[in-house]
Each structure stands twice: as structure tokens, then as C-alpha cells.
Amino acid sequence: MKKRMEVAAVGVIEIILILVVLIALVLIFKEQLTSLINDIFSKINTNATKIIN
């Protein structure tokens, strides 16, 4: 029983560490990600207008 709880605790710690790394990466590359997303939506909007007209 104790062994099973230890394994579960290790899994939770791994998930928390992965989330911390992902959040850190988003914060580090926030400006680049925002620029990329704005570019993508701009192209989608332009192409959608071409299709409608």
C-alpha cells in the first residue's frame, strides 16, 4: 500500500515539474508567441475575406 502511494506521489511531482517548465517557456517566449499567433490570425482573416468575396 505504501509503495503504491509513493509511486502516485512521484507521478504528481512529475506533472507539476512539467507544468512549471511549460509555464516558464511561455513566459520566456511570450512576445514571440504573441507575434506568431497574431500573424496566423491575420493570414486566416485575409484568406477568409478572399473566399467570401
DSSP H stretches of helix in the chain: 2-28, 30-52
Residue with C-alpha cell 502511494?
A: 5
Instruction: For residue 2, name the pLDDT band (cuts at 50, 70, 90).
Output: low
Instruction: For residue 1, name the pLDDT band (cuts at 50, 70, 90).
Output: low
Quick one: residue 29, left, alpha or beta (phi over 0 = left, psi -120 to 50 = alpha)? alpha
Q: Which domain holds residue 29?
A: 2-52
Residues 26 and 33: beta-carbon distance below 8 Å: yes
pTM over 0.85: no
Q: Which residue type does 48 have?
A: A
Q: Residue 8 has what pLDDT? A: 72
Backbone angles phi, psi at 29, to 5 degrees: -105, 25
Structural domain total, the chain: 1
pLDDT digits (tens, 9 = 90+) for 9-44: 788 899 999 999 999 999 999 999 999 999 999 999
